[in-house]
Amino acid sequence: MPASILMPMPLPASIEKALQEPYPLTADQLAFYEKNRFIKLKQVLDPDTLLFFNEAIGNRVALLNREQRPLAERNTYGKAFLQLMNLWREDDIVKQLVFSPRLARIATELMDTRGVRMYHDQALFKEAGGGITPWHADQFYWPLASDKTITAWIPLQATPLEMGPLEFSAGSHVITEGRELAISDESEAAMQQRLRVTDFDHVIEPFDAGEVSFHSGWVFHRAGANQSSTMRKVMTIIYMDVDMRLKAPENANQQLDWEVWCPGAEIGEIINTPLNPVLYEQ
């Protein structure tokens, strides 16, 4: 583990305070999430905090990114975004956002658990001209024993439709068809057809600056291409129930996730490893 995270650098006092303050959820918001398994929440991050982390995460991604191929030479997944994982282990400033009690408490309350722990984080930067992110459900990749998982999708700038904001199929967590599909052209074609014949609303909306969405591991979602001339910067944090147990992997991706994101965890036991710290408890 990098030594830098053992001695966290101080944040500006106003930003540190903003990351500690609770974000009150209403009964209607909790009910909306329970029904649809996604929700968009406005003004989760204030303008100063958003600008601060736009710069901090942008700098770290630029430093760590090794993708040099032109977009035209990449497959659909590669065109969708630049993907950097577990930045909390690389940068003590980024760690302050990823470990934020404000965000972790929202995740805890939406899932109705006694707390949450880290699965992993990832920066998803969609380049200008970057392609679509195909329909998929995240939990295809995760060797986790329950559906008590949630991802905070944090745009680091206002994200109009032309930049490819996250889209949701509201309530689609009940669909079992398509859960076996990785992010691919196949998942896009299959789920586009499957979701078209259902009553689930396809929600395509821009994100205001400071707006953050939360979605469960089994709700289907996608993103459009970035048709703007600007990088779409997004940070994500994947939380799981504080009592989440490891299940036997059902595909090669889940086996790999076990080895990379939960090393040392044992099947049937609570995932309590150094890479999966508790971020919030009620």
- Range of 150's domain? 26-261
25-34, 98-107, 112-121, 133-142 — which is least confidently predicted? 133-142
276, part of any domain? no
Given this model, what pLDDT does residue 2 score?
38
11, part of any domain? no
Model's pTM, two decimal places? 0.88
For 47, the 3-state DSSP assignment is helix
- Tell me what percent of the residues of the chain surpass a pLDDT of 70: 84
User: What pLDDT band is residue 229 in, cutting at 50, 70 and 90?
Assistant: very high
Tokens of residue 85, six digits: 């994982």
Write out pLDDT tens, residues 164-196.
999 999 998 987 666 666 666 776 676 676 666
Q: What is the mean pLDDT of the chain?
A: 89
172, part of any domain? yes
Residue whose C-alpha is closest to residue 62's, from 239, 253, 231: 231
3, part of any domain? no
CA dihedral 275, 183, 159, 204 (to 10 degrees): -130
Write out pLDDT tens, residues 270-280.
999 999 999 99
237, part of any domain? yes
Higher pLDDT, 63 or 274: 274
Going by their DSSP bridges, the two strands 115-125 and 212-216 should be labelled as unpaired
How far is it, in rounded angstroms, from Cα 58 to Cα 63?
9
Structurally, how many domains does the chain consist of?
Answer: 1
